Amino acid sequence: MKARGAVIHEVNGKWQVQDLEVGEPGENEVLVKVMASGLCHSDDHFVTGDLDVPLPMVGGHEGAGIVEKVGSKVTRVKPGDHVATLFIPACGTCRYCAKGQSYICNNGAGMETGRAMDGTYRFHDSDGTPVGGVTRLGTFSNYLVCHETQTVPLPEDIPFDVACLVSCGVATGYGAAVNGGVKAGDVVLVMGLGGVGANAVQGARHAGADHVIVVDPVDYKQERAADFGATASFASVGEARPLIDQLTNGQGVDVAIITVGRVDGDIIGEAFATVGKAGTCVLVSVGSSELSIAVSPQDLTNFAKSIQGVMYGNCSPVGDIPRLLEMYRRGSIKLDELVTRRYGLDEINQAVEDMHAGRNIRGVVVHEH
């Protein structure tokens, strides 16, 4: 199968749009005609080197499309089905899936290599050079082959450019709030209003938070925060602190959710410092791998605070993605408003530049076929 995709060849390089060969699906794999892909900041960590992966690599993991072909043992989907892609498999049978924790499915091991579960490549360059796919996907290509456990069937009436967002950013952000400990009456801080942060705001309001305060240095993001349910927005935690103190009698927020584009130990420490007694600092963002966090052990113990890591919103995407889309149908969650701009694949570097500049809540690549 011939395909066209955006590939990163070197750390700090530019995405290159090029022709690719896509292999035949194996017995448990599916060929997906990718219709749309969200631009998630996680892909940028492969470019900057924050995440050390073998290059070259086809970008993209937040996708939606149509199943073109299936392997002989595939049972989850069939040709013609509309699907969302899962950046972590949900096998349903490993220890963690059996415990309802498919967001840490054992079959996610090795996904950073970009190779299929059998260790071989599904993308190749025109000269035969193997090319990985981000999280074994590569939704910046208009066709991909992935394991059936990385797909979830979608209702056919949901537009692809909206459905793709639920496969990562929406599920991750929304889940970070509802599964991260937000309760009715809480005061919540969300740091960073991108495609994940906007949905953390939505999730916090749905979980019953009375106040959801957004911090983002970009004016446009502050202006948009109220669209998703934020009750206040500021450029920095320092600017937000007087309101936090007023709302909590100086005690601190109940939950702080970190959804910035790139996190480090100082940012975690800053968020942790805003959390009150028995509160939770929820970490969603990816970034530095340094073994240091600017947190006081005494505060952690004496005030019974928690730091909670969240992967995929700690949700069960096979069940939660259809549920989120049903909420969208009912008008109880906003998806259309997340899409600031749509791009053709040849505009990929402009899309990334816009993401870095904070011009978009979410940009979406719409593929041609």
What is the domain partition of the chain in residue ranges?
Answer: 2-169+314-366, 180-309
Which positions of the chain have pLDDT values less than 50? none
327: closest CA among 102, 82, 151, 155? 155
CA distance 257 to 201: 9
CA distance 213 to 97: 34
- Measured in degrees and rounded to the nearest 5, phi and psi for residue 362 equal -145, 130
Query: Is 191 within 8 Å of 169 (Cβ atoms)?
Result: no
CA distance 281 to 269: 9
Which helix (DSSP H) or strand (DSSP E) does residue 350 occupy?
helix 348-357
Query: What does the pLDDT look like over 173-227, one tens digit per residue?
Result: 999 999 999 999 999 999 999 999 999 999 999 999 999 999 999 999 999 999 9
- Quick one: tokens of 114? 């970009």
Query: Is 66 within 8 Å of 117 (Cβ atoms)?
Result: no
144: closest CA among 19, 46, 1, 8? 1
Q: What is the pLDDT of residue 142?
A: 98
Q: What is the pLDDT of residue 288?
A: 73
Query: Is 7 within 8 Å of 19 (Cβ atoms)?
Result: no
Q: What is the pLDDT of residue 292?
A: 85
Q: What is the pLDDT of residue 199?
A: 97
CA distance 101 to 123: 30
The alpha carbon of 42 is separated from its chain's Cα centroid by a whole number of angstroms, namely: 7
Q: Are strands 253-258 and 275-283 parallel, antiparallel or unpaired?
A: parallel
Which residue do the tokens 């415990």 mark?
99
Per DSSP, 24 falls in state: P
Q: What is the pLDDT of residue 2?
A: 96
CATH topology of domain 180-309: Rossmann fold (3.40.50)
Query: What does the pLDDT look like over 54-105, one tens digit per residue?
Result: 999 999 999 999 999 999 999 999 999 999 999 999 999 999 999 999 999 9
Which residue do the tokens 């305060």 mark?
213
Query: Is 248 within 8 Å of 279 (Cβ atoms)?
Result: no
58: closest CA among 92, 34, 78, 94? 34
Q: Are strands 2-8 and 306-309 parallel, antiparallel or unpaired?
A: unpaired
Q: What is the pLDDT of residue 50?
A: 87
Q: What is the mean pLDDT of the chain?
A: 96
Q: Supply the Cα-derived Rg of the chain in whole angstroms.
A: 20
Say which CATH architecture domain 2-169+314-366 belongs to. Alpha-Beta Complex (3.90)
- Measured in degrees and rounded to the nearest 5, phi and psi for residue 339 equal -85, 110
CA distance 308 to 263: 14
Query: Is 152 within 8 Å of 83 (Cβ atoms)?
Result: yes
Beta strands in the chain (DSSP E): 2-8, 16-22, 29-38, 57-58, 62-70, 82-85, 123-125, 130-133, 143-147, 151-154, 187-191, 211-215, 232-234, 253-258, 275-283, 306-309, 339-343, 362-366
